[in-house]
Amino acid sequence: MLILPAIDLKNGKCVRLYQGKFEKLDVVGDDPVKIALDFKKAGAEYIHMVDLDGALDGKIKNKEAISEVIKTSQIPVELGGGIRNLSTVESLVQLGVSRVILGTAALKDPGFVKDAVKKYDGKIAVGIDAKDEKVAVNGWTNISNVEYTDFARQMEYIGVKTIIFTDISKDGTLGGPSLKQLSKIQNSVSCRIIASGGIKNIEDLQNIDKMGIYGAIVGKALYAGNIDLKSSIELFR
C-alpha cells in the first residue's frame, strides 16, 4: 500500500483543517519545501497536496509553492483544489504535477473529466469527499444530493482509474478512518482507491491495507507525531 504524506496549502503555508472547517485551521509549517524534503528523507514515494485557497476560489492560488515542492523534492506530487478546466490541468501537468485531482468540477461537469481523461489518462484522479455518504463540493462548503458510490461508478464509467475518498466528518479528527464507507466504495468500483481522513495510527493503516486499498493519505497523524512516516512506509512497501 502506498503511503502519501499530505501538504495542505493556505496562503503558502502548510495547514491542517478539522472536519474541513476553515475556521478550525492550524498552521503546521511555514515552509512546504522543507516539509516535502523531510518526507523525501523518510522515504516518501508520493506527496498528496491540496491548494485550499484554490478549492474555495475555483482557481490555483499556491502555484509558486507547488512548483518549488516539485522541483526541489523530485518526488511525484498529486494535487487537488481549484482545478475547474482543461487549461488548468494542462498548466499543472507542464508544471510537473504527476496526478491532477478533480473534485467539484467532476461533479458539476462530467464532460470535463471525460476530456481530461482522454487527454491525460492516468494523470487524472477524482477526489470524492463525502459527508453522510453524500458528495461535498466547493472546499466542502456545500453538500450535494449525490450518493458517493453512485458518483464513483459514474467516474469509473468515464475512464477514471484513481479515486481519492475522504470522509469529511473524520478529516483532521484523528478519530480513525471510516472503514465501512471505504469498504463500500472499494467494492463498488475497480478503480484504485486512496483513503483519506481520520487516520490516527499504524493500526488504522493496517486495517486499510487488509482491505486491499491502493493507498492512504496521512496528514494530521504525521504532524501530531502519532505516525512515524519512515517506519510506516517500510512496513507497507
| Confidence at residue 137, expressed as pLDDT on a 0 to 100 scale | 78
pLDDT digits (tens, 9 = 90+) for 191-202: 999 999 999 999
| Confidence at residue 139, expressed as pLDDT on a 0 to 100 scale | 55
| Confidence at residue 140, expressed as pLDDT on a 0 to 100 scale | 60
Q: Which domain holds residue 19?
A: 2-236
The pTM of the full predicted model, rounded to 2 decimals, is 0.94
Give me the phi and psi of 51, to 5 degrees please: -90, 95
Look up 51 and say whether it is catalytic.
no
Give me the phi and psi of 62, to 5 degrees please: -115, 40
The domain tally of the chain equals 1
Q: State the average pLDDT over residues 66-86.
A: 96
pLDDT digits (tens, 9 = 90+) for 96-147: 999 999 988 899 899 999 999 999 999 999 999 898 899 987 756 688 899 9
For residue 219, give the DSSP letter: -
* Residue 59 confidence class, pLDDT cut points 50, 70, 90: confident
The CATH number of whichever domain residue 175 belongs to comes to 3.20.20.70
Q: Which helix (H) or strand (E) holds 207?
A: helix 202-210
Ranges of beta strands (E only) in 62-214 are 77-80, 99-102, 124-131, 134-137, 142-147, 162-167, 192-196
- Reply yes or no on whether the pLDDT at 157 is more than 80: yes
- Reply yes or no on whether the pLDDT at 168 is more than 90: no
> By C-alpha distance, which of 140, 144, 113, 169 is closest to 56?
140
| Confidence at residue 40, expressed as pLDDT on a 0 to 100 scale | 98
> 20 or 237: whose pLDDT is higher?
237
| Confidence at residue 16, expressed as pLDDT on a 0 to 100 scale | 84
Could you give the percent of the chain with pLDDT greater than 70? 97
Dist. CA 212–CA 141, nearest whole Å: 31
| Confidence at residue 22, expressed as pLDDT on a 0 to 100 scale | 76
pLDDT digits (tens, 9 = 90+) for 19-51: 666 777 888 889 999 999 999 999 999 999 999
CB contact burial 140-155 (16+ within 10 A = b; e otherwise): beebbebebbebbebb
Catalytic residue among 26, 38, 109, 129: 129
Give me the phi and psi of 14, to 5 degrees please: -85, 125
CB contact burial 101-124 (16+ within 10 A = b; e otherwise): bbbbbbbeebebbbbbbeebeebb
DSSP 92-107: HHHHT-SEEEE-HHHH
Grid cell at residue 57: 476560489
Those residues with Cβ within 8 angstroms of residue 88's Cβ, 6 or more apart along the chain or in another chain: 59, 60, 82
Look up 57 and say whether it is catalytic.
no
| Confidence at residue 86, expressed as pLDDT on a 0 to 100 scale | 96
